[in-house]
Structure 1
């Protein structure tokens, strides 16, 4: 019942906010792949085919005639946050932007670069969507050169171990399917046995980031361009020590089952230029993949996305290249990246330094008229307060339930939140708040302070003074 009420509240908010297309999709207000509604098993009439001339409606413009919160009122909220005893010795950076006008109406040390934690993922997501496109899919293929079959990793780390599911995001493409398609093609050429090679050269450099502290092995895998569904390990740890080789071994097992013998052990090398494509399978579109990685704050998936941005940009496909490529794409898209330090793509590295203003500007652009498909895809991927993802247990029974859509960030001494909120008056705001440097072990109290003093009042207020 609680989630149904939240869903209804969210729907009402979206009708006011207009451009909030992604969440309207989740509530079945507009066409789209996501739903939060209960399954309807009532028999339905046979569908009618739409005319080819039918047009798809566009998101309504954001309302401009509702009150804009006053800076002084917002400043009082953030100062109350700073004064909470849980944040003693912490630094707070906050920015609030009116989405309609693009004006920054709260600048509380907004240009100060602090450790962003997983809000960092917003930068990677924007760069990936902008450079690669929301519909970009990743191909995992096999190629043959003589009697050497090479499994080529193309960046899909959500591969099903056996059969793929064309309706799923994780497991859209399956290694078992690829093996069976490959075996059929090989048999048609009279090939019944091969030596197997793994080509994971799409990425370079170390698979582990030296900027990550010990203990993070439970929260991120080694970064490689082919894996069996890495999202299945999220929050549980136990990642394979060599995910790419694990995927190749899984493929080899299915190839044998399909009647093609694999001679010797699996070797690693780039596919020969003369090799001919045998078979391939494709991932879900990038927008769907981001919807999974951002909602769950999956570090492994985001690091892979950063490496893919680097490869597409012509940078070295490693951690340093990913940072350069993400910042370059943000700069090309008109964002000011001065003062930003990126050591990874996911936000695990404490050495990352990002101003709240940049995070708010990214979300503000996404939510505004200039956001386009990139912006709508980014917003649609963010968790909704009290409803799903990493916000499913926050803002319960408050004004922020269903009205806050944001990326969370959590490290042992950092908490952040970056997204959009619709005020009680109906004004759509983009915001980013980073709280960095509170006492060790104080994460839960710091997060509660952020919600209590800033986010819930912001959602519930008119903030007119």
Structure 2
């Protein structure tokens, strides 16, 4: 056999052996192929079919229909508390009360909640809601200086009655803007013109007269509980420091005199005494400072129950509503604004916006509606009403109440106090951490001042906080 034949034979043997090996591997499913030693797979199951539709069997409801004529019962525990408060001799003979669950709005108990009564300073809740809902929380009030003819300048009030006499404090509400800062701006502008002596006028025509309400008790004015309401003032027209000091009879003139002093300190001589005048038409603004935002102002007047600033804010709402910026216009405007916000104002009447005057009437149900709006997360713009109210035992006009109560820190409420009138409207957390909304108006309290009715109301709210009523 030749060498070539041997090579061919050997090659064929290799191919045969390789083929046999692949077939064997295929049979054991090691390599791809059609040969296998596995059992063939079973035939697939038939596709399932759905059963045919059948008529439903008759079912019996677990609960029968409710009787639409059946009365909705008040929570017995809460109603018992309300009844006890109404009968308390310290509360007098005219009491309105309502208590509701904030989350659901369910009224848990009440006593004549639809009857109007004197609200005192709880009326400030109307102004608070109205202003934030219509004007917005970021509005600020300008105090500016406008260049007049010749060497004249005019200080123009934009409603800020809490101006600082000197430098403003950007972290404060009271004194946020300062006449000292304004004088510095104006002095630089005048010096650039080469002017070193000016005559100073002031324009406070933004608000209408009168500046004092005829419904206010003269004794309250004399006691410093309120100042004349003008568009321009330093430190709410206080003549001396303190919570209720005497007030300047003409806050705008007093502010203009203070501004003249600041100008003199900045190097500008003021010729003569400042005089009331109009804003120069087409005059160039040479300086301006801005108040704190409105939400801070609302927080301030709720916490401190500041009558004057509340009246200022109501006039801003009146201007927005196209009404005269007066006591009547402001009161009408704030009630209209809360009605637009969805509050039932039937039976309501305000003679002013602060609640200081005689003759205002609000039903407890109206105040309840305002509080529910302010505590509703869907109305975040009103949050500063809920958070601006005093906290029991801690802040504002409630700082000296609830100090020894288990409800300390759990009560946020607006106070109201007039002769023979004691009121409280706000929220409290109960033992189940549910927020309850309550309103108490008593407008025929016995002689003896505020101590007795306040003690009765505070005991009532303290008991509410521990009742697990929500």
Residue 196 (structure 2) aligns with = 192
Q: Which runs of 4+ in 1 moved over 3 A?
A: 231-235
1:120 equivalenced with 2:123 (yes/no):
yes
Which of 203, 227, 231 does residue 221 from structure 1 map onto? Answer: 227
1:407 equivalenced with 2:414 (yes/no):
yes
Tell me, in whole angstroms, the C-alpha distance in 2 between the residues paired with 1:140 and 1:300.
Answer: 18
Tell me, in whole angstroms, the C-alpha distance in 1 between the residues paired with 2:355 and 2:192.
Answer: 48
Which of 203, 207, 215 does residue 211 from structure 1 map onto? Answer: 215
Deviation string for 1:39-74 (max 9, x for gaps)?
Answer: xxxxxxxxxxxxxxxxxxxxxxxxxxxxxx953222
1:159 equivalenced with 2:163 (yes/no):
yes
Residue 271 (structure 1) aligns with = 279
Residue 437 (structure 1) aligns with = 444
1:237 Cα offset (Å): 2.4
Tell me, in whole angstroms, the C-alpha distance in 1 between the residues paired with 2:107 and 2:237.
Answer: 36
- 8 Å CA contact retained: 1:97, 1:364: no
1:269 Cα offset (Å): 2.0
Q: How does 1:140-151 map to 2 (within 5 A)?
A: 140-146=143-149, 147-151=151-155
Residue 138 (structure 1) aligns with = 141
Does the residue aligned with 2:377 lie in a helix, a strand or coil?
coil
1:365 Cα offset (Å): 1.2
Tell me, in whole angstroms, the C-alpha distance in 2 between the residues paired with 1:349 and 1:91.
Answer: 19
Deviation string for 1:163-222 (max 9, x for gaps)?
Answer: 111111111110011011101111112222222111000000200000011201120000
Residue 246 (structure 1) aligns with = 254
Deviation string for 1:6-35 (max 9, x for gaps)?
Answer: xxxxxxxxxxxxxxxxxxxxxxxxxxxxxx
- 8 Å CA contact retained: 2:91, 2:453: yes
Does the residue aligned with 2:424 lie in a helix, a strand or coil?
strand
1:234 Cα offset (Å): 5.8
- 8 Å CA contact retained: 2:423, 2:441: yes
**Unpaired segments of 5 or more residues in structure 2?**
1-72
Which of 83, 93, 98 does residue 95 from structure 1 map onto? Answer: 98
Residue 305 (structure 2) aligns with = 297
Residue 369 (structure 2) aligns with = 361
1:110 equivalenced with 2:113 (yes/no):
yes
1:81 equivalenced with 2:85 (yes/no):
yes
Q: How many residues were matched structurally? A: 393
1:369 Cα offset (Å): 2.9
1:257 equivalenced with 2:265 (yes/no):
yes
1:377 equivalenced with 2:384 (yes/no):
yes
1:398 Cα offset (Å): 2.1
Root-mean-square deviation (CA, aligned residues, Å) is 1.6
1:313 equivalenced with 2:316 (yes/no):
no
Tell me, in whole angstroms, the C-alpha distance in 2 between the residues paired with 1:356 and 1:70.
Answer: 17
- 8 Å CA contact retained: 1:234, 1:298: no
Tell me, in whole angstroms, the C-alpha distance in 1 between the residues paired with 2:469 and 2:350.
Answer: 35
Deviation string for 1:392-449 (max 9, x for gaps)?
Answer: 1111232311111110111120111111111111111211110111123332101111
1:345 equivalenced with 2:348 (yes/no):
no
Does the residue aligned with 1:309 lie in a helix, a strand or coil?
helix
- 8 Å CA contact retained: 2:390, 2:396: yes
Which of 168, 180, 183 does residue 179 from structure 1 map onto? Answer: 183
Which of 443, 446, 458 does residue 451 from structure 1 map onto? Answer: 458
Q: Based on CA coordinates, which of the two structures has the bigger radius of gyration?
A: 2
- 8 Å CA contact retained: 2:231, 2:252: yes
Residue 44 (structure 2) aligns with = none
